[in-house]
Amino acid sequence: MAENIIEVKNLKKAYHDGVEATVALAGVTFEVRKGEFLAIMGPSGSGKSTLLHLLGLLDTPTGGTYHFDGKNITAYNGDELADLRNRKLGFVFQAFNLLARTSVLENVKLPLVYSDVPEHEWDAMATKAVEAVGLGNRINHDQSELSGGERQRVAIARALVTDPDVIFADEPTGNLDSKSGKNIMSILQRLNMKEGKTIVLITHETATAEHSERIIRLMDGVIETDVKVRNRLSADSEYVK
């Protein structure tokens, strides 16, 4: 049985405005196996975005514990957390977050700027990541020349370039038409099934979530259900190899 790469126990997060606290997570407990594809669902205000920020080491909890790859995150200082986030985690966001007036290649190389990888290796690594999402023929195009689906594929390539253990995808199909969304899910499924990447997907769309192996549903900061996907959808497309 695969080891757990993520383990959270009674994880909590509250925001204080100086007068009262707003509880975003009221205590959640679950594990994510290495190589698993997990979807986290919930309505607006359920805590799913807060949970993503905690799991992605973009924020710190106010209670509970979080172990990543067997080690409590409190054992790391700020610089070590930043290094862990850069080396082990990849992020794909709904809004793409690409650099304006910048080529596909330069956008994908960005995480390497903050890594220990020698600069002479950057182009080759970025090119490999771009080709992995089927955009080799667009590598020198400005990101503004791409469609929404292509921009999201660039964002996935950027998340892949450091060969992370976990990819966090936050509503990756939210700004796309159905065909482009299907292609994005196809790429994520291939990364999971063929390359063993652990995927944590945040989505409000049931059809998108059903491409995963397991769905956690949040409501008011707690886990409402945690179930296996019995009939996992396949996102067949030309990009699945």
Going by pLDDT thresholds of 50, 70 and 90, the confidence category of residue 162 is very high
Q: Considering only residues 238 and 171, tell me which one the structure prediction assigns the higher pLDDT.
A: 171
Average pLDDT, stretch 119-140? Answer: 94
Fill in the amino acid letter for 121: E
Fill in the amino acid letter for 101: R
The length of the chain is 241
Average pLDDT, stretch 59-64? Answer: 95
115 pLDDT above the threshold of 60: yes
Residue 235 CB: number of other CB atoms within 10 A? 19
Q: Strand 63-68 relative to strand 4-16: parallel, antiparallel, unpaired?
A: antiparallel
18 pLDDT above the threshold of 80: no
Burial bucket for residue 158 (CB in 10 Å: 0-12, 13-18, 19+) = buried
Going by pLDDT thresholds of 50, 70 and 90, the confidence category of residue 16 is confident
